[in-house]
Amino acid sequence: MLEKYYVGIRPQTNGFHAVHEEGCPFLPETGKRIFLGRFQNPQDALKESRKHFKRSNICLFCSKEYLPQKNTQQEPVFEISENFISSSRLAVTWESALLCSVN
């Protein structure tokens, strides 16, 4: 099944741009993301994303890597990487994002 994928215009603290599946809670809002297209898996979306931003990676949430091994219900423990969370309050790399999108 094809899913829509987007890449965030603003890079994470590690300088990488996160690729998100539609519906991801960390998907940047319209205007702060680039629609990549519909893909069967995140890897294909990542390839497309690298045409925009050389340094792209798949969002941890979207890649499901954040999932804890045990699946306890009613206990939303998301082990999101620090990079991811701090990226929302990071403005330093904004300039580099602009540079990237201009090219």
Residue 65 C-beta: closest distance to Zn ion, Å: 11
Residue 27 C-beta: closest distance to Zn ion, Å: 6
Q: Say if strands 17-21 and 3-8 run parallel, antiparallel, or are unpaired.
A: antiparallel
The nearer residue to Zn ion, 14 or 26, going by C-beta atoms, is 26
The nearer residue to Zn ion, 4 or 26, going by C-beta atoms, is 26
The nearer residue to Zn ion, 23 or 95, going by C-beta atoms, is 23
The phi-psi region of residue 39 (left if phi > 0; otherwise alpha if psi is between -120 and 50; otherwise beta) is beta
Residue 22 C-beta: closest distance to Zn ion, Å: 9
Residue 99 to residues 37, 52, 71, Cα–Cα distance (Å): 22, 11, 41
Closest CA to 26 of 14, 12, 37: 12
Could you list the residues that contact Zn ion (CB under 5 A)?
A: 20, 24, 26, 59, 61-62
